[in-house]
Amino acid sequence: MVKNYFNKSIIVIYGQKITLPEILILSICSILFPLTIPLYSLYSELNWSVVQILIAYGLAFDIMSGCLVYNSSQHKEIKYKENHLSGYVKHALLHMQPLVVAAFLTEELLIYIGLYWLIMYIVFVSLFEPVSRVTKKIENTIIGIFITVNFVFMGLCFMLIKDTSLLLYGVLFYIILAPLSAVQFYLPLKSQRLFGTTIAVFACILNMMILKAPNGFQWFIPVLFVKLFIGYNSREKILVEA
């Protein structure tokens, strides 16, 4: 049973034609890359608490592993066949990680928003991956509840986060994900990757020169936007060798 579940997970996440070297590269890097974040916090003496370190590693694992998987040729082959705008918009709105980063230095909010994000992540993986275990109606209801709660936490961010630059950082990046995902969806397939790359580069410029990210999260927005706009949202026909 465990072996069967593992095999199905590999097929759904990586694709039918995934090879052993690809599995090793994606799996090993998905574990090792996120480890650089807590190590950096210790080396740079950021004085993060245990809770902050765990949340930082969780965010890094989620975003970095997703970035690698969504940009693999096997996953591109799967996404090329999908053609539902609502799925892309809902996927973007579920990514409330920018709000978690914005709340990273606000201890009274971070614990609750971090715990909620973890619960949402576990529920999503448990119910909808490798295959959905519920009806489409129940799935849409659960996702709708999650998105609604995300906006509730956005309101809490406005009330509790004192640093306006961090508040702008989190809220701005969260609210632009869905509209830009919708725009990208309606573009011709040949233009989607270029549009996604343009958005990712623009996000990098904002991240480095205009908006303020907490120290230790300078990587976050560039990797998140590569994950979503070049990886997940950009549908491409990839030629995969037999």
- Break the chain into its structural domains and give their ranges: 2-232
Task: Residue 87: name the closest of 12, 182, 19, 3 by CA.
Answer: 182
Q: Rounded mean pLDDT of 68-87? A: 72
pLDDT of residue 81: 67
* Predicted local distance difference test score (pLDDT) of residue 129: 63
pLDDT at residue number 224 = 92
Summarised one tens digit per residue, pLDDT across range 11-39 is 555 555 667 777 788 888 888 999 999 99
Distance CA 46, CA 235 (A): 39
Give residue-wise pLDDT tens across range 167-195: 888 888 898 888 998 898 888 888 988 99
Residue 91: count of CB within 10 angstroms of its CB? 16
Q: The pTM is what?
A: 0.85
Lowest mean pLDDT across 52-56, 80-84, 94-98: 80-84
pLDDT at 103: 92
For residues 239 and 51, which has the higher predicted lDDT (pLDDT)? Answer: 51
